[in-house]
Amino acid sequence: MDKTKSSYQEDKALVLAAQKDARAFGGLYDKYFERIYLFIYKRVQDEAVAGDVCQDAMLKAMHNIKKYEDRGFPFSAWLYRIASNEVNLYFRAQKKMVTVEVEDKHVKSVMLEIKIGSEESESDQDKLMKVLSNLKPEHVEIIELRFFMQYSFKEIAEFYEITEANAKMRLYRILDKIKKTWETNS
């Protein structure tokens, strides 16, 4: 049995136990805490905030574990989605602007993909950041996953519980939107 298959089986057993008794959620908590924490940290870039958001996400998962249905996707995808929703809720609730830093190599890769501006130009990079900042959190999420967190299309598909083709379509639709906004602003 390969690693993915055994992890899938292990998760299945842990989920079943947690569905019977919420206190058994501890197994899943221990297994996924660090991964979920890092996922949140990369998006909020603050240790304490990531800790709080992670706790909220885990609480939601524990509360809703009975509603979880195995649709053939990894259990982690369900957890990541809850965590991502919590991150979006966190940003929505902030009255002050929260600054999120993006490495320039990731910004360049977005510019290369959409074919806009000159990727070496700092003003063009800043302009793209402005366009991204004005997007809805749900829309910018897929950009973060693909370009800032280096997710493969397979991982994005698992995250949204869709096919890889649909994941590609969803991403390119958002990239198209970014390109149009960029051109309108030029």
Partner 1 sequence: MRKYKVNREQPVKLPSKEAMAKYKDFSRLTHEYDNVVKRPKKPLYKDKKMFIFIIIVALLAVLIARSMAEEEAEEETPSGTEATE
Q: Which of 9, 12, 16, 55 is in the footprint of partner 1 by CB under 8 A?
A: 55
Of 42, 139, 168, 170, the one binding partner 1 (CB under 8 A) is 42
Please say which residue, 136 or 163, places its beta carbon nearer to partner 1.
136
Q: Measured from the CB of residue 45, what is the shortest distance to partner 1 in angstroms?
A: 6
- Give how far Cα 114 sits from Cα of 13, 43, 81, 118, 154, Å: 43, 22, 26, 11, 21
Q: Find how far residue 122's CA is from the centre of its chain.
A: 26
57 touches 36 (CB < 8 A): yes
Residue carrying the six token digits 């960029």: 182
Q: Which is nearer to partner 1, 8 or 41 (CB)?
A: 41
Q: Calculate the CA 59 to chain-centre distance.
A: 18
Residue 173 structure tokens: 């639709």
Options 54, 79, 156, 175; binder of partner 1; rule CB under 8 A: 54
Q: Would you count residue 94 as binding partner 1 (CB under 8 A)?
A: yes
CB-based contacts of 140: which residues, under 8 Å, 6+ apart?
Answer: 132, 174
Interface with partner 1 by CB under 8 A: which residues? 22-23, 25-26, 29-30, 33-34, 37-38, 41-42, 45, 47-48, 50-51, 54-55, 58-59, 62-63, 91-92, 94-104, 107, 122, 125-126, 129, 132-133, 137
